[in-house]
Amino acid sequence: MTAAVIDGKKIAGHVREKVAAAVSRLKSAHDVTPGLAVVLVGEDPASQVYVRNKHKATEAAGMVSIMHQLPADTPEVDVVARVRDLNADDRVDGILVQLPLPSHIDEHRVINEIAPEKDVDGLTEVNAGRLMLGKKGLVPCTPQGSIILLKEAMPELSGKTAVVVGRSILVGKPLALLLLAENCTVTVAHSRTQDLAGVCRGADIVCAAVGMPELIKGNWVSDGTVVIDVGINRIDAPERGAGKTRLVGDVAYDEALAHASAITPVPGGVGPMTIACLLRNTVLAAARRRDIADPKGL
Ligand code: NAD
């Protein structure tokens, strides 16, 4: 068996097209242009790249992108004040505080200041609680993107056994809850799990969100399994020349190709879906805040 490769770039492109169409309908029918505000504290180079990409993607979808760049030594109270200003700003439908924040700032405190209806990262206690309760809310982007990719390969998830490797608040836990909401039988594995190989072998779906290069070996993947690899790890690639690096996932991709029925590559799998789902959440937030029905097709 050779796995079908789930093309995250292409599918993210479709989501972004649907978002752009929804934005244009919101403008013409309701005179609403959704706005996304991103708060970046400090000069972390990776965060700057992410924020720039989000800015470009937001504008490309026809939305307003508002950047707030604060110095690395900004006191926590000032970051909180900035979030409160954005909560009160009617042009802003979505607020994203780029993580990680500098170590003197309590991330949890800052995130929880975001008004739940503008929390497009889905990380406030209110939205986490809604997900837990199975109520409508804003869902974290990477897990949402993972589910969209999974459904491309396996449209009917009900009754399937799924293993999520990783239990972070950002990815593993919300992904497990989304799979449960799809009526999967879900196992959450983590750093203390015994016999991770055996746990993975028993699953119809393996989702990896660990941050360890190629932790999951090909022979941990049973024939016909769908593999969603969330991990992004940069490793040395001397075969490409001295000092060169490359990105790999948490799954030994080449090995898993021989067993899985479908698999997401790294890069080009879950990664592009994260921004697409951020844009999707911003449109949903803009509509819901005004009691407009969720845009069709999203
Ligand atoms: P995290 O460090 O917060 O969590 C890692 C989880 O892995 C923990 O729950 C831990 O228990 C588990 N773990 C650690 N060692 C393990 C082991 N040996 N066996 C099994 N489980 C183990 O990381 P995160 O924020 O959830 O991110 C996970 C990965 O996903 C990272 O590579 C990150 O870069 C990537 N990521 C990608 C996107 C994207 O857009 N594609 C978004 C967020 C995170």
* pLDDT confidence band for 137 (50 / 70 / 90): very high
| 274 CB near ligand 1 (under 6 Å) | yes
pLDDT recorded at residue 249: 98
State residue 170 phi and psi, 5-degree precision: -75, -40
Mutational pocket test of ligand 1: of 15, 108, 150, 168, the residue with most ligand atoms within 8 Å of the beta carbon:
168
Domain 31-116 and domain 141-271, same fold? Reply is yes
Q: Are 7 and 65 in contact (CB under 8 A)?
A: no
| Residue found by looking up tokens 């992904």 in the block | 175
Q: Are 273 and 175 in contact (CB under 8 A)?
A: no
Region of 169 please: left (phi>0), alpha (psi -120 to 50) or beta. Answer: alpha
| 196 CB near ligand 1 (under 6 Å) | yes
Q: Starting from the edge strand earliest in sequence, which strands make up the sheet with 226-229, in order? A: 4-5, 262-263, 226-229, 205-208, 161-165, 185-189
What is the residue type of 95?
Answer: I
Q: What is the pTM of this model?
A: 0.97
User: Which among 186, 232, 183 is positioned nearest to 205, based on CA atoms?
Assistant: 186
198-206 long-range contacts, Cβ below 8 Å, gap at least 24? 199/163, 200/163, 200/165, 202/161, 202/163, 203/161, 203/162, 203/163, 204/154, 204/160, 204/161, 204/162, 205/150, 205/154, 205/157, 205/160, 205/161, 205/162, 205/163, 205/179, 206/162, 206/163, 206/165, 206/251
* pLDDT confidence band for 297 (50 / 70 / 90): confident
| 292 CB near ligand 1 (under 6 Å) | no
CA of 186 to the centre of ligand 1 (A): 17
CATH superfamily entry for domain 31-116: Leucine Dehydrogenase, chain A, domain 1 (3.40.50.10860)
What is residue 20's three-state secondary structure? helix
* pLDDT confidence band for 136 (50 / 70 / 90): very high
pLDDT recorded at residue 141: 98
Angle at 278 between CA 30 and CA 110, to 5 degrees: 105
Domain boundaries, the chain: 31-116, 141-271
CA of 85 to the centre of ligand 1 (A): 32
Question: Which tens digit of pLDDT belongs to each residue from 152-196?
Answer: 999 999 999 999 999 999 999 999 999 999 999 999 999 999 999
Class of domain 141-271: alpha beta
Could you count the other beta carbons within 10 Å of the beta carbon of residue 294? 12
Q: Are 44 and 1 in contact (CB under 8 A)?
A: no
User: Which among 291, 298, 280 is positioned nearest to 138, based on CA atoms?
Assistant: 280
pLDDT recorded at residue 1: 74
CA of 120 to the centre of ligand 1 (A): 21
Report strand pairing: 245-248 vs 233-236: antiparallel
